[in-house]
Amino acid sequence: MRTYSRQMLLVLVVLLLPRVASAQAALAVADAAGFMGGWTLGLDTPQGSLSMDLTITDEAGKVAGSISAEPMMPGVTKITDITKDGGKLVLRYMLDFQGMSIPTVITLIPDGDKWKANFDFASGQFQVDGTAVKKS
């Protein structure tokens, strides 16, 4: 069963990778002004709590980002596919987890004084809601 799950995930990654790569669009910084800066993202999973550091920056007038979550995600992963969906910011990237590339989508959602973060791993295979707190 475990081998089947890994094979299925690999098939999904191979099928979706070209679509994810081609979907990259350059979002203007002015269109994402409220999202710029550093964020702490939190999520609770069956394996425990996880805190991630997200940074949204201006790279030549376009929105770019990076995410890290030591020690689970060693190093920093760049995010270049960033779009807006209404008032939400949508970040797409490939998560390298134990040698496997997993398509990942994080959606930052304004919600009054608090912000939400929705995480979608492997094209809907695992979804979890979390929190987003802007760093000062």
Instruction: At 99, give phi and psi (nearest 5°).
Output: 85, 0
Comparing 14-28, 67-81, 82-96, which segment has the lowest mean pLDDT?
14-28
Statement: 2-134 belongs to CATH 3.30.200: no
Q: What is the pLDDT of residue 107?
A: 97
How far apart (Å, rounded) are the C-alpha atoms in residues 10 and 103? 11
How far apart (Å, rounded) are the C-alpha atoms in residues 42 and 52? 6
**Average pLDDT of every residue of the chain:** 82
Q: What is the pLDDT of residue 10?
A: 38
How far apart (Å, rounded) are the C-alpha atoms in residues 67 and 15? 24
How far apart (Å, rounded) are the C-alpha atoms in residues 50 and 87? 25
Helix, strand, coil percentages, rounded to 5, for the chain: 20, 60, 20
pLDDT in tens, 8-51: 443 334 334 434 433 445 899 999 999 999 999 998 877 788 89
How far apart (Å, rounded) are the C-alpha atoms in residues 104 and 106? 7
How far apart (Å, rounded) are the C-alpha atoms in residues 62 and 122? 26
